[in-house]
């Protein structure tokens, strides 16, 4: 009788099949990992931008959440919240909720409402002051501690310095930035001031007119992916003289800016 042959794969063919299949699986996993890293990184940058934009919404639509208390200020601008029996009804004191202050320290984002106190007679002051910024600089500013919110930059990202161009530093240098957003009681116009160092007991030092730092200059806040492999660096840009959330945008390194991340 003749022998019967059974078709099949040789050992070499089987090994080649497994090697090719394994290589494809590794490539797919590596590609999906990079895609996930890119998406998480973009989400962290978008969330940071949205957080800053939200501060302008809170400045333009002030909400005094102290429903059972009055906010009062002394002549040094020190804020007191009377939770029990306020001496001055809410809204009738000498201090006003005038804006928001955001500090970003490496990965931590802290935001507060800013209370302002001005001892000058309001009718005289509004009629005779030369500019909004002059007026704002004369306010005693304090943070309303009962409004403090704390968050972190998402997915292990952190803020960083540009690696070239304006204000560049070694990318491993930790970065902090303060953003002071104030609405003028005189005109209703919103102003943005930033600084790389500040004191919460002297926020008025950030109120500087003009395209400068501290002051109203443009700021590029690079976002470092925290070791994850991503396609390219992104930054949250605060435009010079920003007066609304529209002045906050995301920038890439290929947009022709003076600095790169």
The residue behind tokens 């429903």 is 67
Mean pLDDT confidence for 195-201: 93
Secondary structure class of 99 (helix, strand, coil) = strand
Segment 99-125 mean pLDDT? 83
Dihedral sign for Cα atoms in the order 141, 145, 147, 150: positive
pLDDT for the residue numbered 85: 55
- Domain assignment present for 141: yes
Whether the pLDDT of residue 168 is over 60: the answer is yes
Which residue has better confidence, 108 or 173?
A: 108
Burial 155-178 (b: 16+ CB within 10 A, else e): bebbbbbbbeeeebeeeeeebebb
Most confident segment among 63-77, 123-137, 198-212: 198-212
Distance of CA 129 to the CA centre of its chain: 32
Burial of 243 per CB tally in 10 Å (0-12, 13-18, 19+): middle
pTM of the full structure: 0.81
- The residue range of the domain holding 43 is 32-252
According to the model, what pLDDT value does residue 23 have?
53
Comparing 63 with 83, the larger pLDDT belongs to: 63
In percent, how much of the chain has pLDDT > 90? 47
- Kindly give the pairing relationship between strand 219-224 and strand 158-160: antiparallel
Q: What pLDDT score was predicted for residue 199?
A: 94
Query: What is the SS3 string spanning 119-175?
Result: CCCHHHHHHHCCCHHHHHHCCEEEEEEEEEEEEECHHHCEEECCCECCCCCCCCCCC
Q: Is the pLDDT of residue 111 over 90?
A: yes
Tell me what pLDDT residue 174 has.
Answer: 92
Residue 23 domain flag: no
Residue 15 confidence class, pLDDT cut points 50, 70, 90: low
Model confidence at 209: pLDDT above 80: yes
Q: Of 122, 109, 131, which Cα lies nearest the Cα of 179?
A: 109
Q: 123 and 166 in contact (C-beta within 8 Å)? A: no
Does a structural domain hold residue 5?
A: no
Residue 236 · residue 43 · CB < 8 Å: no
Q: Which of 44-58, 85-99, 148-162 has the lowest mean pLDDT?
A: 85-99
Q: In whole angstroms, give the CA distance from residue 174 to residue 178.
A: 14
Which of 14-18, 98-102, 215-219, 239-243 is predicted with the least confidence, judged by mean pLDDT? 14-18
The band of 71, judged by pLDDT with boundaries at 50, 70 and 90, is: low
Band (189; pLDDT cuts 50, 70, 90):
very high
Strands (E), 83-175: 95-105, 108-117, 140-152, 158-160
The alpha carbon of 112 is separated from its chain's Cα centroid by a whole number of angstroms, namely 13
Let me know: does 103 contact 177? Beta carbons within 8 Å.
yes
Residue 94 lies in a domain: yes
Mean pLDDT of the chain: 81
Query: Of 43, 24, 45, which is closest to residue 35 (Cα–Cα)?
Result: 43
Q: Is residue 190 included in any domain, yes or no?
A: yes
Nearest-angstrom CA–CA distance, 190 and 179: 13
CA distance 115 to 227: 39
Mean pLDDT computed over 140-153: 90
Asked whether residue 188 is assigned to any structural domain, the reply reads yes
pLDDT band at 74 (very low <50, low <70, confident <90, very high): low
pLDDT at 198: 94
Indicate the pLDDT class of residue 124, thresholds 50, 70 and 90: very low
Alpha carbon distance, N-terminus to C-terminus of the chain:
78
Flag whether 22 is in a domain. no
Indicate the number of domains in the chain: 1
| Residue 201, in any domain of the structure | yes
Residue 179 banded pLDDT, cuts 50, 70, 90:
very high
- pLDDT for residue 224: 94
């Amino acid at each position: 009788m003749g022998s019967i042959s059974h078709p099949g794969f040789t050992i070499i063919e089987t090994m080649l099949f497994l090697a090719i299949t394994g290589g494809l699986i590794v490539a797919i996993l590596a590609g999906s990992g990079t895609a996930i890293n890119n998406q998480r990184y973009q989400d962290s940058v978008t969330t940071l931008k949205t957080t800053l934009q939200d501060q302008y919404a809170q400045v333009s639509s002030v909400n005094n959440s102290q429903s059972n208390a009055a906010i009062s200020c002394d002549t040094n601008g020190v804020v007191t919240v009377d939770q029990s029996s306020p001496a001055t009804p809410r809204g009738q004191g000498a201090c006003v909720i005038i804006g928001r202050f955001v500090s970003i320290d490496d990965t931590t984002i802290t935001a507060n409402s800013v209370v302002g106190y001005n001892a000058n007679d309001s009718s005289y002051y509004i009629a005779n002051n030369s500019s909004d910024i002059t007026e704002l600089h004369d306010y005693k500013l304090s943070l309303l501690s009962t409004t403090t919110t704390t968050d972190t930059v998402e997915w292990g990202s952190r803020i960083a310095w540009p690696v070239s161009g304006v204000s560049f530093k070694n990318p491993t240098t930790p970065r902090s930035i303060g953003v002071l957003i104030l609405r003028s009681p005189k005109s209703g116009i919103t102003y943005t001031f930033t600084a790389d160092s500040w004191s919460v007991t002297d926020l008025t030092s950030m109120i500087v007119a003009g395209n400068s730092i501290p002051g109203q200059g443009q700021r590029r806040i690079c976002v470092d992916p925290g070791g994850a492999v991503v396609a390219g660096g992104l930054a949250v840009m605060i435009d010079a003289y920003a007066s609304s959330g529209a002045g906050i945008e995301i920038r890439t390194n290929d947009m022709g800016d003076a600095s790169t991340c």
